[in-house]
Amino acid sequence: YLYMSAGYLGVGINEQFEPILPDSNALIRIKIDEGRRFYYDTVNINGIYEPKLDGNFRKISRRFKYGKPVDPFLLRQAAYDMKSVLANNGYPYGRAEYVIDTSAETDYAAVCFDIFSDSLVYFGDVQISGAENFDTSLVRRELTFRKGDLYRRKDILKSQKHLLETGYYFTLRLNSTVRDTSTMEERLNPDFILNLREKKPHHVSVKTGAAQDSIKDLTWSFSGAWSKRNFLRSRYLELSAKASFVIFTQWRLKEHSYRIRITEPWFMGLRMPLTLTAQLEPGVRSLLQPYRKQTWFISATTTWNVKDNLKLLTGLQYEEVDIYGVSKEAEEQIKEEEGISVRRKYYLSIVRDSRDNVFVPTRGSVTSAAFEYIGGFLGGDDSFYHLEGSWSRYQRVWPGWISATRFKSGFLQETGDAVTVPTDDRYYIGGANTVRGFSENELGPLSEAGNFSGADIIVIFNQEFRYPIIGKLWGSIFTDIGNGYINRTDIKLNNLAYSFGLGFQFISPAGPIRLDYARHIKSEGIDSGDRIHFTILYAF
């Protein structure tokens, strides 16, 4: 592989094994005859296929640059990708092959792809096997193709993905019934058989465990849930309860809650699951708390995958807190002392993600926008809105080097009679994932006491270059710019925080394990300093 992928197409390797007596050692001689090394000359495409597909084939062929070493493994992958283009446009029986012309006296080899589309194919019927607990109509609505539709391989893969996402099935297989003995009519209109292995329609779970609470009591918790996957044919219903008890010291009920959740997989005729949730926490009285605090909320959330890389999420939550056993004035005082804040909100977010890899992206981008409206006409104790946007871009700039760029901004604004945004909802930046070189959450506005009080506005820019060192060890160099503000008029170039540094990452199965060193320079209101960060996953 090492030699052939570097252009040595005729490499020869001879091994000789020679025992060394009387031990069990051996001498191994490996003789390598590299032969000629070939480089790409012209890359041509010939064959019979629809002209509209030519652009797809040309795009694939442009991977091979003049003067680069010929790599037969990449050529084989390109031929497969060309066959995929045919299969996704109605030609599953199409062929794509390549020939490397090494007959010239020079070390430059021409490559020719030969493509033959064969006959156009349309989907036939789908037979369903194994559907016992769930109606077959639920299966068919997840299929992205119908009888008579143009054959596309990606529709088969997408249908299988949709079916698994329903949560009804352990495994499934969607295969063509075409065999070598099939007629031409059967080959051009292939039927499919879908074999299903269903999950049980009912599910019960029980959990228990011990813990220590803040006042040193030993507590024991119990939780249980019952769910039905085919409630009203296709809805998912879950009933759950949770209770916690103080044991040994007092033997009493500490807290308990109850929840009901129902999910409609297809909302408004779209594959857009709508989840309705209601939860009640009745509260309990105790010697330390001679009143009962009851909390309940209802919420509605829906997610719509507009495209494979475009997702929309929206929801509404309504919360209420009541305190029983005290006067109205005392109720308000208790809420203030305990920091109880009734939160009612509407939220909307849109994310477009075209990255080729979530953990170590080498190309693509992520664009996100989020809006959150709290209080206002919905009521509650807090009243403000929140806007946030982010854009990240990943691309190869040098062999093995990846450029990663991010812009991020956020804005908070109180509404109605509210004087300020709650402290816990403000932005706290600085640290491993925002502006490196600072301790976590120690960048931005300060209170009169000199503590970091959070920002209502943030502006962040990051530029990072990532490169492999050896094996799974990677390195990076980066610069971060940003700060947090209270007012828009405070945003100036001379009071932004500027930092730079380098890092190392070990690419583990759970994502990059990252060690960064960053130093920030002196700017208005910010002294110079440095920081080491150790965390998991890239900053963006």
| Structural domain span for residue 447 | 352-540
Is residue 236, in this structure, part of any structural domain at all?
no
Contacts of 161 (CB under 8 A, 6+ apart): none
- Domain CATH number, residue 134: 3.10.20.310
Is residue 501, in this structure, part of any structural domain at all?
yes
Tell which of 198, 226, 250 closes a domain.
Answer: 198
Q: Provide the b/e sequence for 124-139 (b: ≥16 CB within 10 Å).
A: bebebebbeebeeebb
Contacts of 377 (CB under 8 A, 6+ apart): none
Question: Residues in the chain, how many?
Answer: 540
3-state secondary structure 269-305: CECCCEEEEEEEECCCCCCCCCCEEEEEEEEEEEEEE
Hey, what long-range contacts does 65-68 have (CB within 8 A, 24 or more apart)? Answer: 65/40, 66/39, 66/40, 66/41, 66/42, 67/39, 67/40, 68/39, 68/40
In this structure, the number of other CB atoms found within 10 A of the CB of residue 196 comes to: 21
Q: What distances in angstroms separate CA 497 from CA 55, 459, 478, 538, one per listed residue?
A: 46, 10, 14, 20
Q: How far apart are CA 287 and CA 463, in angstroms?
A: 57
pTM, to two decimals: 0.82
Tell which of 183, 198, 213 closes a domain.
Answer: 198
Is residue 518, in this structure, part of any structural domain at all?
yes
> 22: buried, middle or exposed (CB in 10 Å: 19+, 13-18, 0-12)?
exposed
Residues 483, 459 contacting (CB under 8 angstroms): yes
DSSP 267: B
Tell which of 163, 198, 233 closes a domain.
Answer: 198
Residues 506, 472 contacting (CB under 8 angstroms): yes
- Domain CATH number, residue 525: 2.40.160.50
The identity of residue 21, as a single letter, is L
Is residue 148, in this structure, part of any structural domain at all?
yes
Is residue 360, in this structure, part of any structural domain at all?
yes
Q: How many Cα atoms occupy the beta-carbon half-sphere of 294 within 13 Å? A: 8
Residues 352, 367 contacting (CB under 8 angstroms): yes
> 450: buried, middle or exposed (CB in 10 Å: 19+, 13-18, 0-12)?
exposed
Structure tokens at 407: 């812009």
β pairing state of 235-247 and 218-231? antiparallel
Is residue 438, in this structure, part of any structural domain at all?
yes
Which of these, 97, 93, 4, 90, lies nearest to 57 by C-alpha position? 97
Residues 43, 113 contacting (CB under 8 angstroms): yes
Structure tokens at 134: 């769930």
The total number of structural domains that make up the chain: 2
Is residue 110, in this structure, part of any structural domain at all?
no
Cα 104 vs. chain centroid, distance in angstroms? 49
The identity of residue 200, as a single letter, is K
Is residue 505, in this structure, part of any structural domain at all?
yes
Cα 127 vs. chain centroid, distance in angstroms? 33
Residue 296 pairs in a beta bridge with: 280, 320
Which of these, 116, 97, 113, 115, lies nearest to 42 by C-alpha position? 113
Q: Name the one residue in this structure whose structure tokens are 């394990």.
A: 513
Residues 526, 497 contacting (CB under 8 angstroms): yes
Tell me the pLDDT of the chain (540 aa) as tens digits: 889 999 999 988 888 888 888 777 888 888 989 899 999 999 999 999 999 999 999 999 999 999 999 999 999 999 999 999 999 999 999 999 999 999 988 999 999 999 999 999 999 999 999 999 999 999 999 999 999 999 999 999 999 999 999 999 999 999 999 998 889 999 999 999 999 999 999 999 999 999 877 666 789 999 999 999 999 989 999 999 999 998 887 788 889 999 999 999 999 999 999 999 999 999 888 666 788 999 999 999 999 999 989 999 999 999 999 999 888 888 888 888 888 889 999 999 999 999 999 999 999 999 999 999 999 999 999 999 999 999 999 999 988 899 999 999 999 999 988 889 999 999 999 999 999 999 999 999 998 888 999 999 999 999 999 999 999 999 999 999 999 999 999 999 999 999 999 999 999 999 999 999 999 999 998 999 999 999 999 999
